[in-house]
Amino acid sequence: MTHLIPGNHITLLQNGEAYFPAIISAFELAEHEIYLESYIFEDDATGQRVAEALKHAAKRGVKTHVLVDGFGSKNLPQSMIDSMSDAGVRVLKFRPKISPWTFRRQRLRRLHRKIVVVDQEIAFVGGINIIDDMDTPGHTPPRYDYAVAVEGPLVGIIHAAVRHVWSLVSWTHLHQGWLRDRGVPVSSVAKGTMRAAFLVRDNLRHRRDIEEAYLSAIEKAQTEIIIANAYFLPGISFRHALTEAAARGVRVILLLQGRVEYLLLHYASRALYGNFLEAGIEIYEYHKSFMHAKVAVIDGHWATVGSSNIDPFSLLLSREANVVVENKEFAGALRQNLLQSMETGSRPVLKISWKRQFMLTRLVSWLSYGLVRFMMGVAGYAREKNNEKI
């Protein structure tokens, strides 16, 4: 059961246009410490702006920590890492060994979280990487994505989770000296009236926390479920929960990726369209730009924003982080934003049109779906019993 913490103020941030100025402003105001986790940290105009803000903070004595994923940030040049390190920024890579010639579980367990914590006063959680979301060659920018700014007692919980992973990675990199910081005292002062929870997915005690929060909210839904997800390939429990909700009269709306970014996942997810449409579930595909969102609103009062897709890679492999908010005002704002995006940037997938599509298209979708499930089975993810620290 999701444990909601009262006394928070949560601000919705859409796209990098809102997110990057917010985190850079927080870096400029930092007095004690900064933690940044990102799957991708790119050496582009946005990455350089963020890096400069981090370096300025470190130079004035702020303990500054950057943790990036070894695969997602494999193109981050050593010169950029050295530049940050020379300024006093502590930079680590999560699972830096990414040999393409080995198909090992631990190599595919990635740090997919996008989190920033500053002075335990404010935290940012969402799906936005450190990358220029206006640089989308051949497509209309920006990438469609969300994050939240969190103020209040929940920040202390987010800080503890980030610090825990930093400590694990520091130990594996033999940077024991980076583990001695006492950190900033935890503040439990209320900053608002919103109840919220911070959920993670890891490979130890929190393997299904995010998925179970979704399932619990879906099973309790009475009027409406809106899920916007870039890579949507749910397991059988999730599919059943959605179809059962639709069967009891709940309006279920899926806003999914319409542009092809990862060919196999794109066609695999479309294999499920027929069953969803038959169940009365509405499907919209977002075509205006690349969609990277991972959010949901249920019954106008429950909402989640985070890094977790509803696919095997997020739900069974990666480290993920979502914030759940129980608040009508916040959920209403996100719902209105999603409905507007559906109206201005997406196209409905109609059941009659779906039935008339070429048989070859259906065959490619089901073959892609089977291949994804086969890959997961061969790697043994469903049967994985080992408890890995990182």
In the prediction, which pLDDT does 137 show?
66
pLDDT tens digits along 335-370: 999 999 999 999 999 988 777 776 767 777 778 777
115: Cβ contacts below 8 Å, ≥ 6 apart: 35, 36, 37, 123, 124, 125, 158, 161, 162, 321
Of 9, 55, 93, 114, which residue is the catalytic one? 114
User: Residue ranges per domain, the chain?
Assistant: 5-194, 197-379
Q: Quick check: do 5-194 and 197-379 share a fold?
A: yes
292 is catalytic: yes
Element (H, E) at 322: strand 320-326
294 is catalytic: yes
In the prediction, which pLDDT does 181 show?
62
In the prediction, which pLDDT does 150 show?
98
202 is catalytic: no
Asked if the bond preceding 142 is cis, omega within 30° of 0, the reply is yes
What CATH number is given for 5-194 in this structure? 3.30.870.10
Which position has the higher pLDDT, 245 or 372?
Answer: 245
114 is catalytic: yes
Most confident of 1-5, 279-283, 386-390: 279-283
pLDDT tens digits along 297-341: 999 999 999 999 998 888 888 999 999 999 999 999 999 999 999
119 is catalytic: yes
pLDDT grade, residue 380 (50/70/90)?
very low
Task: Decide if 279 contacts 272 (C-beta within 8 A).
Answer: no
> What is the rounded CA–CA span in Å between residue 256 and residue 291?
8
CATH class of the 197-379 domain in this structure? alpha beta
Q: Name the residue among 254, 252, 284, 286 with its Cα closest to residue 348.
A: 284
> What is the rounded CA–CA span in Å between residue 62 and residue 29?
10
